[in-house]
Amino acid sequence: MLKKLIFTLLSSIIPTFLFAQTAPQAAQSSNLEMLLYVIVGLVLLISVLVLLVAIYTLYVVRAILKQEQTVSGESKVEEPGETIWMKVSKSLTRAKPIEEEEDILLDHNYDGIKELDNHLPPWWKWLFYITIVWSLIYLLAFHVFDWMPLSSEEYNISIARAEAAMEAQKASSPSAAIDENNVTVATEEAALAQGETIFIRQCAVCHQQDGGGNVGPNLTDDYWIHGGSIKDIFSIIKYGVPQKGMISWESQLNPTEMRDVASYIKVKLVGTEPANPKEPQGELYDPSTEEEENIESDTTEAATDIVAQILKHGGSLSN
């Protein structure tokens, strides 16, 4: 009960703590949405605070100007009684009015600078107290009672949540279920166009826009280091070849996008004549074997040594 109370208190001070804590409920909503709420909340919080400060400053200035006029005798006649604002101000600063300043003028004189003995503004004092209490609660919450996750725990929570979301996504949408075992060449123009866009944006840096190769190998010839079937290419894109500098794109491209870019390579790039082709690397791959492969292999490991075995088979490019 106490824990809940303090937690509510804390989260009202910093709405963002909700982020890390309420994992079960938040699992459904996407990260982005959460982030949006957090930011909107923060912006609101800060704006409200800034607004309050601004209003307060404005008010102080007004009050001071008013007092100024009173002192200089322009409007000797005070409005009957104090306004609410004046009362608020008085309770906030507990300042001696300017006209009674003499009472609290200390006998200090430094090169003509004098000092007043005004009270500490109560709101300031309370702000200080509250931040100290908040700090104690904060330290206890993180390091004594473990109510709040430390950074590594927070990381694990976010990864677990993302994985759960991915599983759910896979189950609900067929495109997310595409993987290296079931991928087939996409031939629709829309898919190939998307593949081209991705290729130019992500792949061209190392493989050249025309696929001729640069830092990465030539993708237009029939020689492939890791196999030239759609499944091989998909697999290389997905997992990368870290030793050779090909990064894993699994976290940056979704399965459909990986299929599209692999298809783009197979359909649009292979067999073209690039401007500055890099010399062939790897082994000759016979595209005519692919149909066979679709039937026979269901793992990438199998796909790599399939080349030799399949050379004797005939067939045409499958889709």
Task: Please report how close the Cβ of residue 318 comes to other proteins at its closest, in angstroms.
Answer: 26
Look at residues 204, 197, 177, 195 and name the one whose alpha carbon lies nearest to residue 259. Answer: 195
Instruction: Please count the CA atoms within 13 angstroms of the CA of 288 that sit on its side-chain side.
Output: 5
128 contributes a contact to other proteins by CB under 8 A: yes
| Window 140-179: contact mask with other proteins (x via CB under 8 A) | --xx------xxx-xx--xx--x--xx--x------x---
- With CA atoms as reference, report the closest residue to 120 among 153, 137, 95: 95
What are the structure tokens assigned to 263, written together? 């298809």
Does 248 contact other proteins by CB under 8 A? yes
Question: Which range of residues in 186-194, 202-210, 265-273, 303-311 is near other proteins by CB under 8 A?
Answer: 202-210
- Which residue shows structure tokens 């794109």? 249
User: Does the footprint of other proteins cover residue 106 (CB under 8 A)?
Assistant: yes
Residues 217-236 within binding reach of other proteins (CB under 8 A): none
Question: Which residues from 258-317 bind other proteins, rule CB under 8 A?
Answer: none
The residue among 7 and 134 lying less far from other proteins, judged by its C-beta, is 134
Window contacting other proteins (CB under 8 A); options: 81-89, 117-125, 226-234, 284-292 = 117-125
Nearer to other proteins, 235 or 289 (CB): 235
Is residue 22 part of the contact set for other proteins (CB under 8 A)? Answer: no
Scan residues 34-93 and list those touching other proteins (CB under 8 A): 35, 38-39, 42, 46, 49, 53, 57, 60-61, 64-65, 67-68, 71, 93
Token code pair at residue 56: 């307060």
Give the binding-site size for other proteins (rule: CB under 8 A): 89
Give the count of beta carbons closer than 10 Å to the beta carbon of residue 103. 10
Question: How many beta carbons lie within 10 A of that of residue 287, not counting itself?
Answer: 16
- Report the residue from 78, 82, 250, 305 that binds other proteins according to the rule CB under 8 A: 250
**What is the separation of C-alpha 287 from the centre of its chain, rounded to a whole number of angstroms?**
42
111 makes contact with other proteins (CB under 8 A)? yes
Interior/surface letters 195-218, b for 16+ CB within 10 angstroms, e for the rest: bbebbeebbbeebbebbbbeebbb
CA pair distance 227, 281, nearest whole angstrom = 11
SS3 113: strand
Q: Does 138 bind other proteins (CB under 8 A)?
A: yes
Which of 1, 24, 112, 295 binds other proteins (CB under 8 A)? It is 112
What tokens does 59 get? Answer: 């008010």
